[in-house]
């Protein structure tokens, strides 16, 4: 399997506190990789460092053979990388369709000049954004709600909308920050199905998640973090049997 993303010796320090300590792993093409660990293990800091939300103290991230470290978060989209956040980032007063269309900007060629003069390219871009949004909304079952205000949707449907926006410009790598957080069992099952279905199209995922049953079901590989260090990596079956993982979650006395 060809590596799509390579995390090499990532370290992040805040003063005298080391939140991420020399973590390395890879994400292959068409692979789902989950990052798990107890509360306070450093998962979110690791995720934010990988996604250029904050710079690492040392180490680097390589994406498709090119150095990602040092780039700004807004530079990820043109590289066909998208990400979601723990807190929903939707526009509540815009419609579901309008929210989804916001994810199409990477594929559009319109600039201020062409938009101002309403050149033919503008109409073509609008039509493309519209179709991409429809396709994404259909995939997550929101097409019938396309004209509803996003703020009127339930939390679970808002999560589905955020996922639709993240995938609508067909990114190669999708970074998901706790995609199942706050979802009930039925909603969690749906989100899992969307991720697996999108993976079948050749796309890759790196995600942080607390719901272990979901992680074990959909992840190809799992990276386990504890106190900022990687303590295990492998298939769900390997990780479930790993003594270090059991100790990190259940305590020394549980082994």
pLDDT at position 23, please? 98
Q: Do residues 59 and 22 touch, judged by C-beta distance below 8 A?
A: yes
Average pLDDT, integer, range 192-201: 94
| Residue in 213, 150, 149, 203 with CA at minimum distance from that of residue 180 | 213
- In order of start, what are the domains of the chain with their CATH numbers? 1-80+173-255 (3.40.50.300), 87-170 (3.40.50.300)
Two structure tokens written together for 188: 């969690």
pLDDT at position 125, please? 65
Average pLDDT, integer, range 214-233: 96
pLDDT at position 112, please? 37
pLDDT at position 123, please? 65
pLDDT at position 2, please? 87
145-193 pLDDT per residue, tens: 999 999 999 999 999 999 998 988 889 999 999 999 999 999 999 999 9
pLDDT at position 35, please? 96
| Residue in 26, 39, 36 with CA at minimum distance from that of residue 204 | 26
137-152 pLDDT per residue, tens: 999 999 999 999 999 9
CB atoms within 10 A of CB 127: 10
Output the pTM of the full model.
0.86
Among the ranges given (38-52, 69-83, 106-120, 234-248), the one the predictor scored with the smallest mean pLDDT:
106-120
Looking at per-residue confidence, does 73 or 228 come out higher? 228
Among the ranges given (3-7, 115-119, 124-128, 240-244), the one the predictor scored with the smallest mean pLDDT:
115-119
Q: Do residues 46 and 35 touch, judged by C-beta distance below 8 A?
A: yes
Confidence of residue 120 (pLDDT cuts 50, 70, 90): low
Q: What does 123-164 look like in DSSP terms, one character per residue?
A: HHHHHHHHHHHHHHHHHTT-GGGTTSBGGGS-HHHHHHHHHH
pLDDT at position 221, please? 97
pLDDT at 113 over 60: no
Average pLDDT, integer, range 40-60: 94
- Residue 38: left if φ>0, alpha if ψ -120 to 50, beta else—which one? beta
pLDDT at position 114, please? 42
Average pLDDT, integer, range 57-66: 95
Q: What is the mean pLDDT of the chain?
A: 88
CB atoms within 10 A of CB 200: 8
9-18 pLDDT per residue, tens: 999 999 999 9
Helices (H), the chain: 43-50, 96-101, 112-116, 120-139, 155-167, 185-199, 212-218, 236-241, 243-250
């Amino acid at each position: 399997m060809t590596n799509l993303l390579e995390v090499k010796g990532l370290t992040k320090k805040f003063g005298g506190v080391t939140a991420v300590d020399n973590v390395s792993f890879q994400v292959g093409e068409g692979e789902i990789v989950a990052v798990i660990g107890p509360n306070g293990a450093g998962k979110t800091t690791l995720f934010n460092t990988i996604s250029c939300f904050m710079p690492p103290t040392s180490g680097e991230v390589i994406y498709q053979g090119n150095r990602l470290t040092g780039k700004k978060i807004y530079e990820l989209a043109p590289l066909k990388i998208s990400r979601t956040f723990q807190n929903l980032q939707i526009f509540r007063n815009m419609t579901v369709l309008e929210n989804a269309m916001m994810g199409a900007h990477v594929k559009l060629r319109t600039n201020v000049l062409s938009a101002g003069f309403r050149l033919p390219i503008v109409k073509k871009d609008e039509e493309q954004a519209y179709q991409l949004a429809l396709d994404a909304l259909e995939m997550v079952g929101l097409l019938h709600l396309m004209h509803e205000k996003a703020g009127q949707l339930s939390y679970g449907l808002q999560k589905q909308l955020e996922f639709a926006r993240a995938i609508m410009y067909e990114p190669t790598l999708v970074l998901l920050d706790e995609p199942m957080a706050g979802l009930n069992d039925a909603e969690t099952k749906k989100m899992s199905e969307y991720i697996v279905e999108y993976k079948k199209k050749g796309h890759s995922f790196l995600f942080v998640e607390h719901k272990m049953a979901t992680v074990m079901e959909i992840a190809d590989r799992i990276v386990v973090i504890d106190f900022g260090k990687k303590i295990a990596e492998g298939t769900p079956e390997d990780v479930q049997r790993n003594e270090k993982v059991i100790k990190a979650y259940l305590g020394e006395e549980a082994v």
